[in-house]
Amino acid sequence: MEESEGKEPLEEKIRKRTDRVKSIAGNQAVKVLGGDSIVDKALKPIITEQVKGEEGEKQKKAAVSIEGLPLADCMTSELIVLHRQFKDNKYQEELQRRFDLLGLTDEQRELFEKSEMERIKDRPFPALYPTGLTRHYFLMQGVGIEDIPTPEQCLSSELFAIFDDAHAASVRDHHWLPERTMNAVKEVLGGNKESPYFVEYDRRVEEWGWTALQISSFNKNEMLILWRVKWRNYGTKTWRKETMVTQEELDEEKKKAEEARRFWKEVEELEKNEEYIKKAEEAKRLGQEMLECRRKGDEEGYNQKLKEYSRLHEEMDKIRKSIRDSIK
C-alpha cells in the first residue's frame, strides 16, 4: 500500500485502490466488463478485504514492535500508554520505580498519571508510535506544524521528544528541509521567545507541585533516553540513582543560569549605551589603522595608535563595570 494512504479513511483507501485497478485494466476493458458501476460492485468486496487485511497486519506489527521495547528505551509517558494498552504490570512497576527515584509523593504521582491519561484516552490504536517515542522523527521533510501534536495535546515525554527533534533539525538539517518544515521547526523552538512546548511543560509541573530538584531530574533523564536511543549514544545510563540531579548540581546550574542572565543583560545595556558604542567604533577604526601601520612598517605610528587604542579600551571597561555593578 502506498505511504500516502497511511492516514486516509478506510473508504477512501478502497476507492483509490479500485480506481488504480481500473486504470491498470484500461477503459476498454472496463467497458467490456459492463461499465464502471458493475466493475466497482465486483471489485469492492475483494479490495475491501485486501485493505482491511493490510490494516490489521499493520496494527499487529505495531503492537509487537511497541510491546517489545526494552523498558530502558521507554520514555516515562510511554510506560503509562503501554500499561493501558497491554495490561502488563512491568510498565507500571517501572513507572513507580522512576517515581521513587524522583521522590514523588502519592499526590504528585496521581496528578502526573491523571494528566497523561487525559491525553491518551482518545488516541487510536496504537496509542503512540510503531517504533516507540524515542525512535520517532516528528520533523521530517514536508511536515508542517499542523502535522505534529500541539503542546496541549502532547504527553509530557512528547514535549521533550518534539523539542529535541526540532533542535536537531535546526542544527543539522536546516540546509535541506523545505520552508514548510523549517517554519514548523522555528515554531516549536519558539524563535526569540521560550518554546511553547516548554511553556506547557512548566505549566504542568507547577500544577503537579514538583520541586526544582524533581523537575531537573525528570528533564535530565528524559533527555538522556533520547540521547542514548535516538542519537545512538548507547553507553548512556538513564533513570538510575546516579543519574538523578543532586542539590549541589542544581545549585551549580542555578549559578550558571544567573551568570548567563547577567551576561546577556550586560550585553543588552551596552547595546543601548551611546558613549560605549561611540568608543567601540573609534577603537575599531584605530585597530584598522594599526594594521595599516604594521603593513607599511610605520612602527612609530603604530605605537601612538596603540596607546590611544588601549586608553579607549580602559574607558570601555569602566563603562562595562559600571553597568555590570548596576545589574540586579
pLDDT at 298: 93
**What does the domain layout of the chain look like in residue ranges?**
3-67, 71-245, 259-326
Q: pLDDT value at position 281?
A: 94
Digit-coded pLDDT (tens) for 213-239: 999 999 999 999 999 999 989 889 999
Q: Which three cell numbers stand for residue 40?
A: 466497482
pLDDT at 57 (0 to 100): 45
Q: How far is CA 194 from the centre of its chain?
A: 13
134, 250 contact by CB (below 8 A): no
pLDDT value of position 45: 73
- Residue 70, pLDDT score: 86
Q: Are 211 and 250 in contact (CB under 8 A)?
A: no
User: What is the per-residue pLDDT for 63?
Assistant: 40
pLDDT of residue 51: 61
Its sign, for the CA torsion 71, 75, 76, 82, is negative
Ordered alpha helix ranges (H), the chain: 10-25, 27-32, 36-67, 76-86, 89-102, 106-120, 156-168, 179-189, 196-208, 212-229, 247-270, 274-296, 299-326
User: What is the C-alpha separation between 249 and 81, in angstroms, rounded?
Assistant: 32
Residue in 9, 30, 7 with CA at minimum distance from that of residue 19: 30
Tell whether pTM > 0.85: no
* The pLDDT value given to residue 193: 83
Using 50 as the pLDDT threshold, list the residues of the chain that sit under it: 1-7, 30, 39, 57-65
Task: Return the closest-CA partner of residue 237 out of 245, 251, 227, 250.
Answer: 227
